[in-house]
Amino acid sequence: MARESKRTLIDRLFRAKHDYLPGTTIFRDVNVELIAEEMKLEALGERDGRAEVPSSTSNRATAAENEILGRFRSYWDEAVQGARAAHESYSTRAASLTSATDLETLVGEPHSIVSQLEQSARSRLDTLKASFEQHRDASRALESFKTREGLDRPPKQPKSFGVRILILVVAAAIELAINIGTFAAGDEFGLAGAALKVIAVPLLNIGGVFFLVFMIGRQITRQNVSAKVIGLAGLGLAFGWAFFLNLAVAHWRDSLGLAFSADAGKMALDRVLHATFELNDITSWVLFAAGFAAAILGAIDAFIWHDPHPGFTSHFNAKVSAAAAFEAERDDALYQLDEIADDAIARLKDALKRAETNASRRPELAQRAAALAEDLKVYEATLGAAAEDLITRYREANQRARTSPSPVRFDAPVALKLSTVSLPPIPPSINANEVDGLLSDAIRRIATARDEAADKLPTLSEWSSKEPTT
Q: Which of these ranges, 19-33, 76-90, 141-155, 161-175, has the smallest mean pLDDT?
A: 161-175
Number of residues assigned to the chain: 470
Q: Give the ranges where 2-62 is alpha helix by DSSP (H).
A: 2-13, 32-39, 41-50
pLDDT at 358: 66
Alpha carbon distance 224, 247 (integer Å): 34
Return contacts of 119-122, CB within 8 angstroms, 24+ apart. Answer: 120/333, 120/336, 120/337, 120/340, 120/453, 121/333, 121/337, 121/453, 121/454, 121/456, 121/457, 122/456
Instruction: Identify the DSSP state of 310.
Output: T
pLDDT at 219: 81
Q: Per the omega criterion (within 30 degrees of 0), is the bond before 54 cis? A: yes
pLDDT at 102: 57
Alpha carbon distance 187, 309 (integer Å): 45
**Mean pLDDT score of the chain:** 78
pLDDT at 188: 44
Residue range 105-111: average pLDDT? 70
pTM, to two decimals: 0.49
Which is higher by pLDDT, 40 or 261? Answer: 40
Confidence class for position 189, pLDDT limits 50, 70, 90:
very low
pLDDT at 66: 92
pLDDT surpassing 80 at residue 78: yes
pLDDT at 5: 46
Sign of the C-alpha dihedral computed for residues 43, 47, 52 and 54 taken in this order: negative
Which is higher by pLDDT, 197 or 134? Answer: 134
Which is higher by pLDDT, 145 or 53? Answer: 53
pLDDT at 158: 64
pLDDT surpassing 80 at residue 183: no
pLDDT tens-place string over residues 360-406 = 677 888 888 888 888 888 888 899 999 999 999 999 999 999 999 99
| Residues in Cβ contact with 337 at an 8 Å cutoff, skipping those fewer than 6 apart | 117, 120, 121, 450, 453, 454
pLDDT tens-place string over residues 328-356 = 998 998 899 899 888 888 877 777 776 66
Which is higher by pLDDT, 464 or 99? Answer: 464
pLDDT tens-place string over residues 8-45 = 444 444 667 767 767 677 888 888 999 999 999 999 99
pLDDT at 441: 81
pLDDT tens-place string over residues 154-166 = 777 666 666 667 7
pLDDT at 193: 45
Residue 17's identity, in one-letter code, is K
pLDDT surpassing 50 at residue 169: yes
Residue 317's identity, in one-letter code, is N
The CA-atom distances, in angstroms, between 109 and each of 37, 105, 348 are 64, 5, 8
CA dihedral 305, 311, 314, 316 (to 10 degrees): -110
Q: Which of these ranges, 32-41, 277-286, 417-426, has the smallest mean pLDDT?
A: 277-286
